[in-house]
Structure 1
């Protein structure tokens, strides 16, 4: 049994909140854990948003497990959540599970460059609220014979595929960040690396592949 010692109770609480939000969208969610030194990254993919979510967690001491000095394992999000002890600021690493396809394709670790044009956080939150309101209004106005899953999906794709401000970031990435609790505070930045865009705040990141770039610059680990 491998126990991770998190930096403090706040880190444990934030990790638990992130896992809970992922499980809200997928009760059988898996997460990929990667750790080296005192940094732990937890990757998840909420199915409704088609993005990768990343929660960085600080550890109180470097990860150690016998002769291994790094951790890289895909596990059940539910089992990991159950193991989090907020008072003790610890979490137990569950047994590995067969990872979903997305777990083998992660954003690159390095090479991120700032991207201009991202609106302020308050504007981003307003953009998500307006998009949700538009979706509800347009779907509520459909006659019964047109309220099909295909039509609802079409409207959703149209709204959530729009780009944010003067960037290539799709609105769905901002919606995901809001749903996962990342759009708090006052700081946010947009970065790119190859085919990837990353919306980053102090509370977590959302990464998405830029449309039309195919399978370029994929980091398979």
Structure 2
């Protein structure tokens, strides 16, 4: 049993909120944990948006760990001052293809976090309107995915980052009006970074199981 002391009570609350959001959309979600020094990175896959969402938690003591666990079991193990890491589970395919730790370079052209959030809200509204305009017999999964792919595949500003990355950051509480947002690249990966965490995805293709229906 591995016990990780947390740096502050707020760290426990933020980790629990992140896990609850994951479990809301995937009750069987798994997360990969990587601890290095006094930081614990929690990687989860945002269902339907085909991105990896990362939440970093500050630890009270240095630790070394790399384990894939059940998100539900991890949530149950979160206490105000520490988290007990559950036993490892067989990881999904995405957990073996995480973004690199280093080599990231900042890219220009990304709108600020406030406009990004507004763009996400406008896109969600557009999706709902376009679906409501469809005749009942045309509201198939294929048609919904086609509309979603068109909307969420749009690029943000002058960057290669698709709108679905900002949507994932918004859904998981990482994109907030008062916080900064940066775009980083490393090899074939893109990363939307805010003070609350990151969203990462490959420039071309994506992670296994692409879907585009809004969360």
TM range, normalised to the smaller chain? Answer: over 0.9
Looking at structure 2, the residues matched to 73 and 19 of structure 1 have their Cα atoms a distance apart, in angstroms, of: 16
1:44-95 deviations in whole A, cap 9, x for unaligned? 00212100000111100112xxxxxx20000000000001012xx2100000
What is aligned with 1:83? Answer: 77
Kindly indicate whether residue 193 of structure 2 is the aligned counterpart of residue 193 of structure 1: no
Q: How far 1:37 sits from its partner (Å)? A: 1.3
Q: How far 1:186 sits from its partner (Å)? A: 2.3
- Equivalent residues of 2:51, 2:206 under 8 A apart: no
- SS of structure 1 residue aligned to 2:144: helix
- Equivalent residues of 1:114, 1:191 under 8 A apart: yes
Q: How far 1:123 sits from its partner (Å)? A: 0.3
- Equivalent residues of 2:51, 2:199 under 8 A apart: yes
- SS of structure 2 residue aligned to 1:60: strand
- Equivalent residues of 1:118, 1:189 under 8 A apart: yes
What is aligned with 2:67? Answer: 73
Trace 1:58-207 onto structure 2 (pairs within 5 A): 58-63=58-63, 70-86=64-80, 89-184=81-176, 185-207=178-200
Q: Which runs of 5+ in 2 are unaligned?
A: 208-215
Looking at structure 2, the residues matched to 212 and 183 of structure 1 have their Cα atoms a distance apart, in angstroms, of: 24
What is aligned with 1:210? Answer: 203
Looking at structure 2, the residues matched to 55 and 163 of structure 1 have their Cα atoms a distance apart, in angstroms, of: 24
The higher relative CO (CA closer than 8 Å, separation ≥ 6) is in: 2
Q: Which runs of 4+ in 1 moved over 2 A?
A: none
TM-score (norm 1): 0.91
Number of positions where the alignment pairs a residue of Structure 1 with one of Structure 2 = 206
Q: How far 1:213 sits from its partner (Å)? A: 9.4
Q: How far 1:212 sits from its partner (Å)? A: 6.0
- SS of structure 2 residue aligned to 1:106: coil
Q: Which runs of 5+ in 1 are unaligned?
A: 64-69, 215-221
- Equivalent residues of 1:25, 1:48 under 8 A apart: no
TM-score (norm 2): 0.93
Q: CA RMSD in A?
A: 1.3
Q: How far 1:138 sits from its partner (Å)? A: 0.4
Q: How far 1:147 sits from its partner (Å)? A: 1.1
Looking at structure 2, the residues matched to 201 and 213 of structure 1 have their Cα atoms a distance apart, in angstroms, of: 21
